[in-house]
Amino acid sequence: MLRLISFEFALYPTKVQFGWPDPVTLRNLYHFDSELLWVPKDYSTRIANWKGKRPTVVFMGDSNTEFGRYDEFLKSIIYEQNPNSAFTFVNVGVAGWSSYQGLQQLKRDVLPMLPRFVTIYYGWNDHWTSFGIEDKEMGKYNLEYSTLQLEVFSDVRVIQLFNKAIFVLERSATEQDEQKPERVSLADFSSNLLKMIRIARDNGIIPLLLTAPSSHKKGQEPDYLAERWLNDLNELVPIHKKYVQTVRDISSKEDVPLIDLFAEFERLTQEELEKFFQKDGIHLTDKGNKKIAEFIYKYLVRNDLYNRLTGKE
């Protein structure tokens, strides 16, 4: 009966905020991970291959990193300027991830690689609305059970109904707001970034913060986003700017290098933005990713970080 009425409350997400990966893609390309929620099927192999290898940079983030190619373009720029560079990199971005997953990944999978730099590029998935459970709550629940238990029983609708009842009962009895919460609240987003910065520094790694750029304009938001993980389409631009500003504030407070991609793209003309962004205003085209690589390169040179990146120091 629950299946017939399309009831679903899977703690291993069957669809990801913003609608990608869709259920079929998620099932075909990703698998369950009790700490990270989901990972690409070749994830464990890639992580193991870089353990202890000391890559120059580990690029962390969501789909804009996993599929972005700005890492490859940055490498091309570096080798064009310095053919003998010792620059190496690993891209560990995963589509749909929030800063919560990034924090767990840094602790478990990135530190053993012993990188010199990590880029921290999150924001979009953090402020999409959840389906009633924040990422940290889902992670906490998953860690209480074995991976096998969750994979075997998570698709049983009666168990999903039981799980939903638990989460509903645990929510504050005084909570009056009927809007769905963000996957990662602004306060938790800030906390996650701070923890990543401090963990990186404690392990001799230089963190580089990146703000998430956009081509969205107030009053011209893509209509379909109103149906995907937003309580109100009018919130899109303001809420994204709040998360961007949080990254800036942390950079200033903690004296962390900041590559403000949001500000860099905001200076460009609308005609340029249309070339650099896909229609969703979130993901970038190849031209846009080349632009990101240029911004990163120029920042590193301006701030005396380039020599350390290329192995000259």
Residue 199: CATH number of its domain: 3.40.50.1110
Q: Is residue 210 part of a domain?
A: yes
167 within domain boundaries? no
Q: Hey, what are 289's tokens?
A: 């990713």
Rg of the chain over all Cα atoms, to the nearest angstrom: 20
Q: Is residue 163 in a domain?
A: no
Alpha carbon distance 175, 165 (integer Å): 16
Residue 224 inside a domain? The answer is yes
**pLDDT at residue 163, as a whole number:** 56
Look at residue 36 and tell me if it is in a domain.
Answer: no
Q: Give the model's pLDDT for residue 148.
A: 46
The answer to whether residue 169 is domain-embedded is: no
Model pLDDT, residue 312 = 60
Domain count, the chain: 1
Domain membership flag for residue 287: yes
Tokens 């017939």, located at residue: 4
Task: Report residue 10 as tokens.
Answer: 């899977």
Residue 190 covered by a domain: yes
- Token pair in block for residue 90: 């690993």
SS3 breakdown of the chain: % helix, strand, coil, rounded to 5? 50, 10, 40
Residue 253 belongs to domain spanning: 46-146+184-310
Is the separation of the CB atoms in 93 and 35 below 8 Å?
no
Mean pLDDT, contiguous 10-residue spans, the chain (313 residues): 62 52 74 88 96 96 96 96 90 95 98 97 89 61 52 56 56 52 91 98 98 94 74 90 98 98 96 95 97 96 84 60
Please state, in angstroms and rounded to a whole number, the distance separating the CA atoms of residues 245 and 77: 29
